[in-house]
Amino acid sequence: MVAKITTPKSIEAALNYNEKKVQKGNAVCLHAANYLKDAKEMNFYQKLSGFERLNSLNERATTKTLHVSLNFGPSEKLTENKLLQIASDYMQKIGFANQPYLVYKHEDAGHPHIHIVSTTIKQDGSRINTHNIGRNQSEKARKERKEIEQTYGLIKAERQQQLAKSAIKAVDIEKAIYGKSETKRSISNVVSAVFSQYKFTSLPEFNAALKQFNVIADRGKEEGRIYKNRGLVYRILDANGNKAGVPIKASSIGCKPILSNLEKKFTDNETAKESLKPFVKIKLDDCLSQSPATMKELMEHLKQKNIYTLLRQNAEGRLYGITFVDNQNKVVFNGSDLGKGYSAAALQSRLTAGTEKSQKQDETKGGGSGGSIQKEMVQQKQQDKTIPLTAKTESPLDVLLSTKEQYDNTPNSLLKKKRKKKKRNL
């Protein structure tokens, strides 16, 4: 069990995060501890008021929120009752047993995990110290945490951290291409890990997983000897995606990722992939709900969810396919395999429609202050184009104090009389 503890500035933000997951069907609120009503009987504002009542007792405190996530191994099958028991034991050990807290079970990842939201303000208005709580109180209760792991038969945190550290490392191109031995070692490490860990059902899908680590499986040209003999070599890709370095034969790599063995993998992975499809779709839907304006923006959102996106384009640069590599669940899907709405064409159409809709909404806004301000700015720009530069830059005060000649008629009464010059007789 791995615990991650954060202390958001706003209790409303932490609650909102979990409640939105519930609305989307990606989470469920399992329990409301130390509340007068059951979690299912309360709406968002009733849950929030339970925290705000205590928070109002301490105006000086700046940190009043505790947000915990307890993460378990992907292979662990935990019932809701067991999750609640673990949550209760954990909150007791970090000193929050008597605090109101909500327990949410999230279902949008490949591993079981729960989120717990609570307040740090107690009934008497005092605050529970959360400074370094993740390191001090939780690690101080290390013995008790180990007991929880032992009691519930959980995978130990140290083991989960070791698995996280064993993540595949991309080939260092600059080092790998100088020499055959270094190239083979770098390629073998990546290929062996992807071959054994990822679920793919075709050579392009296998390559989609490899490419993010700067490696590609190459059959050569169709008229070539390697292709005709069902051979396969592995090569390094440079920063521009071009093949570089010495090609390595598939048969020389320890896990024997030759074409015939890959084809067996394709068949075996057909059924194994199906169970992971919903997890990938949930992540995609979550990213699309953030209304990305471009494909690049969508890819950035997916990257944050540990999904690598590969776009397939023809020689003219036209997009004709898209592949998603979920590195958390170690599975590869073509967009069209997830459903019609996830194909390259459908996603591109959706992004374009969203952008056009947003632009039309901005253009049609005229009733609000924002729309009127935009209209005034456009009108002002049009006026500026027709006004001469001198008239546009002079202020009324400049005009009044100007030394330019005035051609207006001046009343006689205001004109100064000229003195007549006397003629001198010479």
The CB density around residue 121, as the number of other CB atoms within 10 Å, is 24
pLDDT number for residue 229: 94
CB contact at 8 A, 125 and 57: yes
Mean residue pLDDT of the chain comes to: 80
Report how far apart, in Å, the C-alpha atoms of 207 and of each of 198, 202, 211, 251, 307 are: 11, 9, 6, 17, 15
Specify whether 94 is located in the same domain as 122.
yes
Torsion, Cα of 29, 35, 36, 37 (10° steps):
0
Specify whether 130 is located in the same domain as 252.
no
3-state secondary structure of 94: coil
Closest CA to 48 of 116, 118, 114, 106: 118
C-alpha–C-alpha distance, residues 208 and 204, integer Å: 6
Name the pTM for this structure.
0.51
CB contact at 8 A, 80 and 24: no
Domain assignment present for 379: no
Residue 295 pLDDT class (50, 70, 90 cuts): very high
C-alpha–C-alpha distance, residues 112 and 154, integer Å: 12
Report how far apart, in Å, the C-alpha atoms of 293 and of each of 180, 348, 350, 361, 365 are: 44, 10, 9, 14, 20
pLDDT number for residue 138: 47
Specify whether 6 is located in the same domain as 138.
yes
Most confident of 185-189, 308-312, 368-372, 388-392: 308-312
C-alpha–C-alpha distance, residues 113 and 17, integer Å: 15
Domain that holds residue 213: 173-270
- Residue ending a domain, among 334, 360, 386, is 360
Q: Which stretch of DSSP H or E encloses residue 70?
A: strand 65-71
Mode of pairing for the β-strands spanning 101-106 and 65-71: unpaired
pLDDT number for residue 362: 54
- pLDDT of residue 119 exceeding 90, the answer is yes
Tokens of 335: 């967009």
Closest CA to 101 of 66, 135, 69, 136: 66
The CB density around residue 81, as the number of other CB atoms within 10 Å, is 9
Half-sphere exposure of 402 (CA within 13 A, CB side): 12
Q: Which stretch of DSSP H or E encloses residue 279?
A: helix 277-288
Specify whether 110 is located in the same domain as 39.
yes
Domain assignment present for 110: yes
DSSP state of 242: -
- Residue ending a domain, among 135, 164, 193, is 164
Specify whether 135 is located in the same domain as 48.
yes
Specify whether 317 is located in the same domain as 241.
no
- pLDDT of residue 125 exceeding 60, the answer is yes
Domain assignment present for 366: no
pLDDT tens-digit readout, 24-55: 888 999 999 999 999 999 999 999 999 999 99
Let me know the angle formed at the C-alpha of 77 by 71 and 78, rounded to the nearest 5 degrees.
70
Domain assignment present for 423: no
Specify whether 178 is located in the same domain as 325.
no
Domain count, the chain: 3
